[in-house]
Each structure stands twice: as structure tokens, then as C-alpha cells.
A and B are shown apart, each in its own frame.
Chain A
């Protein structure tokens, strides 16, 4: 709409989908949540859903203003496929799947195959995002974002950390540090092997530092008007350390 207002985008035929009931709301089937494409940021931050996917709610709370959160949707965030899309690192960490429909049928695409470049997605003409599926996991979740101020900010770097106590995995999604949302697989594997899953003892300072380093190493940032590549790499390391400490407690010596 911004591009239309500025005269830079021509508008052909438009189908308004914000009142299609099948695209609205969310429901839970066992340990899987199906989030309708028209689910707004305000709805993502609603306590009932926030308790099931806290990182998504945290990300939604950082988007724009109340006016933007009342109108913007998870389907819109996905379709826009901006490197700075706030829900994308969370969806990456959750291994979300995108449900796509067209008059020819439907298909399901993992997030890393859906977002294929800067503002580029896997949708073919005539296809529509119907929903996003994410798991309900047992374990802490965090979403953290760096920007010049608190409100109305496009992220300079962002990080989602999701813990699965049952599967004994830690999953890290990164935003604004590459053309597409990234995972920090090396860091994830390293910290999962070092965590005291049964005893619940917090990780050592050494492990936390190593984790932060590996997360920062996973980035492929660029210099732009919002921040330098160096600053982004540094920020992500700080966010990784902070998220891990929030999830598992102050590190032991």
C-alpha cells in the first residue's frame, strides 16, 4: 500500500481477503498450531496464543505501532519476505511450515524454502498463503531485536531462541543479518550437547561465550543505512548471549 501511495506500484485486479473466515484465527491440533494467514500481530500477542508460542508474541509486540499491529498479518509478513520481517526468525527457529492454496489444490512448504531471497517468496501466480503451522514446544522461548529505539522500528538485527526440552534441542533463528532468515545450526548443536538437560544446571560462562561466537559466525550481514555488517554481527552475539541466559539462568563459572 505504501508503494501504491507513492505511485511506484500499479494496481491491477485486487482481491480483498481480510474477511475470508478460513484465513482467520488459529487452532490447535495436538502439538501443532495452525495460524491463519490473516492472523494479526495484535492477535499473536493475545495471552492465549502467547502462552503457546511466546517468541512469536514477543516478536509481534515489537512490530510498528498499535495501528500497524491491528492491521498487519503473519501472512503479510511471510509474503513480503523482508529480511527484517519480525516473525520470520521465530518461524525459522520453529521450523514452521507454510500452507499454500490455489484453485489447483494445496501444498506445504518449509519456511526455508518459502523465503528465497530479499522480498522474494516461493508463491506462484494464483497461489495464496492459507496458514502457517508451528509446533507447541516444552521449553523457554525468547525474541530479541536491536533498533534505534523502542517503538516503530525496523530491526537492525534480531534473534529468536526456542528450546525443546523433550527433543533436547535449542534452535536459533536470525533476522536482518542475511537476505533470508537464518538458522545458527553449529551454535545449536554445540549448546545442546553442553546443556545439563536432566539436572537443569545453567551453562558455563565458557559455553555461553562459545555459543554467542558461533551464532555471530552464522550471520552473513551487509552494510546499509540501518547498520554496518560489523555492528550486526556484534549485536547478534550480544542477543544470543542474552537470550541463552534468560532461558537457562546466569552462567556458572
Chain B
């Protein structure tokens, strides 16, 4: 047992009590904080389904000790469109994935959304190679990447237009 520590997720502060020191951030998000958007697949940093933003870095939450994220800012896929459940819109990247039909089983989608959101924050107009590199840590096993790449183009365009 370690004890209680604070995690700030999507701008909201949570207190983790009765945690075990070896718990990953992914485990705590899903099992203790009720945020199952980040997916658990490989648990070794290979698949990217658990991708979150830790402060300004995109990381695999399965490879981060939860307690090591204490007092840092964590953004999960639930934080991309915080107002959606209350009737607000999806984020630009989420909407682009819907529009492009880039979701099949959906398991890789949260990680991809996080990776693409982070990419477009740093590079509003990425070329094809940059996009492929940016999503190289996110595996889709359903159908391939054609519609995902299409979704990235749509999201990039939407974000550029929103800025002008």
C-alpha cells in the first residue's frame, strides 16, 4: 500500500487511496478512477492503445507507474471532448475519425486519437511521412490504416480552418 496521492486527470483532481506501488497509470485510470477510455492490450508499450498525455508528453500509460504521475497533468481520450456527454461536440480529431469511417472495432481508436491530437498540436500541416511516423506506435489489427490516414488529413484541415 502506498499512500494517498493526487492525480490530475483531464483537469480534475482525484485522490488515489489504497494503491499499490507497482500499479500502472493505465490500471489506475481504468480500475480506480472509472476512466476506461484508455485501452489495455499489450501492457508492454507495443500497441499504443493506452496512449495518454502526461504533461506535454505522449506516453503509453501502461509503462508509467501511477504514483510517478502524482501532481502531473494527465489527459486521456475522455478529456478530448470534455463537454460531449452534456451535448457538446466531439473534438476535431474525433469527428474526423467518424466522418472518415476510421473506426472498426474501436479498440485502437482512443490511442490513435491521442496520437493524432498531439501530432496536430505540434504540426498543423504534417506530410504523409510525418503522419505515418506519428502513428507508428499505434497498432490497428482490423482493417489497415487507409481510413485512419484519411481521418488525419480531415482533422488537420478542420483544425487549420478553425484557426483562420
Interface residues of A (CB under 8 A from B): 1-2, 4-6, 10-11, 13-14, 16, 18, 42, 64-68, 70-71, 150-152
Does B63 lie at the interface of the complex (its beta carbon under 8 Å from any beta carbon of A)?
yes
Contact A71 B22 (CB under 8 A): no
- Chain B residues lying within 8 Å of A14, measured Cβ to Cβ, are 21, 65, 67-68
Contact A66 B43 (CB under 8 A): no
Instruction: Give A30 to B54 CA distance when docked, in angstroms.
Output: 35
Shortest B45–chain A CB gap in Å is 6
Does B133 lie at the interface of the complex (its beta carbon under 8 Å from any beta carbon of A)?
yes
Contact A71 B24 (CB under 8 A): no
- Chain A residues lying within 8 Å of B44, measured Cβ to Cβ, are 2, 5
Does B143 lie at the interface of the complex (its beta carbon under 8 Å from any beta carbon of A)?
no
Contact B68 A16 (CB under 8 A): yes
- Chain B residues lying within 8 Å of A151, measured Cβ to Cβ, are 133, 136-137
Contact B137 A1 (CB under 8 A): no
CB<8 Å pairs between A and B, sample of 17:
A1-B65, A2-B43, A5-B62, A6-B43, A11-B21, A13-B21, A16-B68, A66-B133, A67-B48, A67-B51, A71-B57, A71-B59, A71-B63, A150-B136, A151-B136, A151-B137, A152-B46
Q: A2-B45, A151-B137 are in contact. Are A67 and B58 (CB under 8 A)?
A: yes
Known pairs A5-B44, A151-B133 / 19 extra A-B pairs, C-beta < 8 Å: A1-B24, A2-B63, A11-B22, A14-B65, A42-B57, A66-B58, A66-B118, A66-B134, A67-B45, A67-B48, A67-B58, A67-B115, A70-B57, A70-B59, A71-B59, A71-B63, A151-B137, A152-B46, A152-B136
Q: Which residue of A lies closest to B52 (CB)?
A: A67
Instruction: Give A11 to B133 CA distance when docked, in angstroms.
Output: 34
Does B64 lie at the interface of the complex (its beta carbon under 8 Å from any beta carbon of A)?
yes
Interface residues of B in 119-141 (CB under 8 A from A): 133-134, 136-138
Q: A11-B21, A67-B48, A67-B58 are in contact. Are A16 and B137 (CB under 8 A)?
A: no
Interface residues of B (CB under 8 A from A): 21-22, 24, 43-46, 48, 51, 57-60, 62-65, 67-68, 115, 118, 133-134, 136-138
Instruction: Give A71 to B56 CA distance when docked, in angstroms.
Output: 11
Q: Is the interface of B mostly helix, strand, loop or mixed?
A: mixed
Contact B59 A67 (CB under 8 A): yes
- Chain A residues lying within 8 Å of B68, measured Cβ to Cβ, are 14, 16, 18
Q: A1-B24, A11-B22, A71-B59 are in contact. Are A65 and B136 (CB under 8 A)?
A: yes
Q: Which residue of A lies closest to B68 (CB)?
A: A16
Instruction: Give A126 to B3 CA distance when docked, in angstroms.
Output: 24
Shortest B31–chain A CB gap in Å is 13
Which of B45, B46, B62 has the most C-beta atoms of chain A within 10 angstroms of its own C-beta? B45
Shortest B61–chain A CB gap in Å is 9
Shortest A244–chain B CB gap in Å is 27
Shortest A81–chain B CB gap in Å is 19
Q: Which residue of B lies closest to A151 (CB)?
A: B136
- Chain A residues lying within 8 Å of B57, measured Cβ to Cβ, are 42, 70-71
- Chain A residues lying within 8 Å of B21, measured Cβ to Cβ, are 11, 13-14
Instruction: Give A14 to B22 CA distance when docked, in angstroms.
Output: 9
Instruction: Give A66 to B134 CA distance when docked, in angstroms.
Output: 6
Shortest B135–chain A CB gap in Å is 9
Which of A4, A6, A67, A151 has the most C-beta atoms of chain B within 10 angstroms of its own C-beta? A67
